[in-house]
Amino acid sequence: MASRQSNGRSTGRRAVTMNDVAQAAGVAQSTVSRILNDAPVPIPVSQETRARVLGIANQLGYRPDPIARALRGAPTMLLGAVVRDITDPFFAVAVEALSIEAKERGYSVVIGHARAAADEALVLTAVLEARHCDGIVLLGDFHRERHLVEDLRKTHARVVGLWHGTWLDSPFPTVGVDNAAGIRAALDHLTSLGHRQIAFVGAEMFGDEQARQRAYREHMAQIGHPAPAGYVHVTSNTIDGGRAALAPLLALRPRPTAVITATDVLAMGVLYGAYECGVGIPGELSIVGFDNIPMAAATVPGLTTVAMPMAEIVGAGVELSVGTDRWAGDGEVPHRVFEPPLVVRGTSGPAPA
Amino acid sequence: MASRQSNGRSTGRRAVTMNDVAQAAGVAQSTVSRILNDAPVPIPVSQETRARVLGIANQLGYRPDPIARALRGAPTMLLGAVVRDITDPFFAVAVEALSIEAKERGYSVVIGHARAAADEALVLTAVLEARHCDGIVLLGDFHRERHLVEDLRKTHARVVGLWHGTWLDSPFPTVGVDNAAGIRAALDHLTSLGHRQIAFVGAEMFGDEQARQRAYREHMAQIGHPAPAGYVHVTSNTIDGGRAALAPLLALRPRPTAVITATDVLAMGVLYGAYECGVGIPGELSIVGFDNIPMAAATVPGLTTVAMPMAEIVGAGVELSVGTDRWAGDGEVPHRVFEPPLVVRGTSGPAPA
DNA sequence: TTGTACGCGTTATCAT
DNA sequence: ATGATAACGCGTACAA
């Protein structure tokens, strides 16, 4: 009975421990532990004391201390999420989905930013691995953050990368989307509407960007319309970035009749820019986005876009990290890819004559 | 040396402990502890052993175990976020802001859903308080969840409520927005544009909803145009909810020339509905939302809305919970209210003649 | 200047 | 059927 108040939280009320329960019940603390944990195998517990202890524990409002349990090796049931830019609507939705999928498996999500800690990977590790997360999910492409990756490899947590883009030799399992198939679907949709002059607006920061841009170029060449100079416009992945991309695109000759964007955020920017410039959508210009973020359904007109199979991808990621079918760590590193369906809404229409 | 592998994580690599460092350096574990924690006051440490221990610790890749530290009473630097519907764009943004504000104070955010656990408050408590969060931030109005509130009062964590709406006798500190002032600003803006027939679209689930609706009624009465029957339409806080609200509103006589919505999500729904019905915005109908969610700037036309001072509110909440100026728990429970500025964009215009 | 011993709340392994 | 006891990794008062 050394320090009694020095240890207390600021609110004063000390938590009820097993010892308290044991003392109140007049039994040993180990007995309480057995009863409360439903003694796995050893030997039957007397129904009498069992009921008494359970009653007292309940009455005293006993709650097991997960920290003490974790110290004994129990999983923390914490899933870390490393997200580069939580301001990006896409990643916001991803965090939502992650939180939901994690919860279904009894896990809680801890959010960690990467932006400021890009240099000092230690900081991030101290924030996540140090929290003893059972698993860590990387949201986006981090293969340029070498320090981070190095640190993550040393960690005990099960790391899984989502949307790692072109980084297919990742040391961690990855789950992503078939960017090429998505872009192809978008292009096929546009060509079937008569479009031939199709531009592309991309963003550097996005991990899957390279794959999407490459797929665009390849497929354009395949259909006999290799992208002319200026048809690929790279900007920042923001509404404003997309908005500013429109003017230079419309100045091109031949003038594009359709635009595919690497993300819905860019598409919304282009859409807004078109509204400002008085360009009719889809009359004068068709737009196809990528991701199908929630607001894509509420733009005017609704945004035609390649739909990210969000639940599937995030679900697979959580499963690989902390699920019952998690990767054992042996054999080949698994890389899962999901196919994105095209969602046709109002921003795509027949090519102008 | 009892169980050595039963304790190990699945990856096998056991973490480096202070004991390992001490053994490698040939000193006592307590010495390592002192050196690594930069011995607060006691007495100077020999530079010789100090350097040696630090070197070995670094070389071995020693990392303090936060769990063991937490068991000793150290703060977990975890901030729990209880959010009712993480699917709501507004709360998604709130979580982002929370994550940013928390990080600035060295805290990480743990996300907990409330939706499914509304009945069993124990579940949620087991997910958050059990994680030994130093603080808990309630996002939205939970005063109906009596079990949750009861449990939260017993917790050691510092609970703070954000957007608790009309629940001003909350046992926890609260931070919110001046709903009445926001609605008033919206109404003044519309009346100054000549509008008199102004309807209101609200959502039940939102905590601040009552205050906003009441402010609407009161101010309408004040300006001599008490809201006629049907002018207050309550629906679900979704795009579809707002979309479906438009038709009945337009059927009213006198027909409204403007609509104020309780949230931007509803406003976007109304806007989309207008697009479907061919109602010109703002020519035939003006719309003013509430919250200023990011996509409000990208609608066509841009959404006029009451801007939630998000950073201020969340910042104040974090500060009250785990900040340096946190509420000591004594005296009157603090309730902070921030004023929301009106952001005028394209959905509001002169009333039709 | 450094080593020893104890306790935080659990679980698990011995004895009784 | 239950009680004592040893860890888990760390911080710290106390002894040397």
Mean pLDDT for the stretch of residues B162-178: 87
Which residue type does A307 have? A
Name beta bridge partners: B260.
B200, B288
pLDDT tens-digit map of B111-167: 877 654 444 444 555 566 656 788 999 998 888 777 778 778 877 788 999 998 877
Q: Is the pLDDT of residue A33 over 70?
A: yes
- The pLDDT of residue B272 is 95
**Is residue A327 within 8 Å of residue A336, measured between CB atoms?**
no
Give the C-alpha distances (Å, rounded to integers) separating A149 from A169, B16, B162, B327.
13, 20, 36, 40
Q: Which of A7, A10, A295 sits opposite B295 (nearest CB)?
A: A295
| Burial (0-12, 13-18, 19+ Cβ within 10 Å), A208 | buried
pLDDT tens-digit map of B311-325: 999 999 999 999 988
Residue of B nearest to A6 (CA): B73
Confidence of residue A66 (pLDDT cuts 50, 70, 90): confident
Q: Is the pLDDT of residue B13 over 60?
A: no
- The pLDDT of residue A131 is 65
Among A222-236, B7-21, B191-205, B307-321, whose mean pLDDT is lowest? B7-21
Distance of alpha carbon B140 from alpha carbon A289, whole angstroms: 33
- The pLDDT of residue A125 is 55
Mean pLDDT for the stretch of residues B15-40: 88
Inter-chain contact B100–A89, Cβ cutoff 8 Å? no
Mean pLDDT for the stretch of residues B85-91: 84
Q: Which of A89, A95, A126 sits opposite B294 (nearest CB)?
A: A89
- The pLDDT of residue B10 is 39
Mean pLDDT for the stretch of residues B37-46: 68
- The pLDDT of residue A74 is 85
B44 touches strand D (CB under 7 A): no
Q: Is the pLDDT of residue A315 over 70?
A: yes
Identify the helix (H) or strand (E) that includes residue A336: strand A335-338
Q: Which chain B residues are within 8 Å of A11, Cβ to Cβ?
A: 156, 158, 329
**Is residue B195 within 8 Å of residue B257, measured between CB atoms?**
yes
Inter-chain contact B99–A113, Cβ cutoff 8 Å? yes
Among A87-101, A126-140, B236-250, whose mean pLDDT is lowest? A126-140
**Protein-strand C interface by C-beta, 7 A:** A 2, 7, 14-15, 17-19, 29-30, 33, 36-37, 40, 42, 62-65, 68-69, 71-72, 74; B 2-3, 6, 26-31, 34, 42-46, 48-50, 68, 71-72
- The pLDDT of residue A45 is 72
Q: Is the pLDDT of residue B283 over 60?
A: yes
Mean pLDDT for the stretch of residues A129-134: 71
Inter-chain contact B132–A73, Cβ cutoff 8 Å? no
* Three-state secondary-structure class, residue A7: coil
Confidence of residue A301 (pLDDT cuts 50, 70, 90): very high
- The pLDDT of residue B119 is 45
Query: Closest Cα partner for A136 from A150, A146, A125, A123?
Result: A125
Any idea of the CA torsion for B126, B128, B129, B132, to the nearest 10 degrees?
Answer: 120
Inter-chain contact A269–B298, Cβ cutoff 8 Å? yes
Pairing mode of beta strands B78-83, A108-113: unpaired
- The pLDDT of residue B292 is 97
Q: Which of B66, B110, B297 sits opposite A132 (nearest CB)?
A: B66
- The pLDDT of residue B153 is 81
Q: Is the pLDDT of residue B170 over 90?
A: no
Residue of A nearest to B63 (CA): A130
Closest nt to residue A34, judged CA to C1': C11
Q: Is the pLDDT of residue B249 over 70?
A: yes
Q: Which of A78, A131, A300 sits opposite B272 (nearest CB)?
A: A300
Q: Which chain B residues are within 8 Å of A129, Cβ to Cβ?
A: 63
Distance of alpha carbon B161 from alpha carbon B138, whole angstroms: 5
Pairing mode of beta strands B174-177, B198-203: unpaired
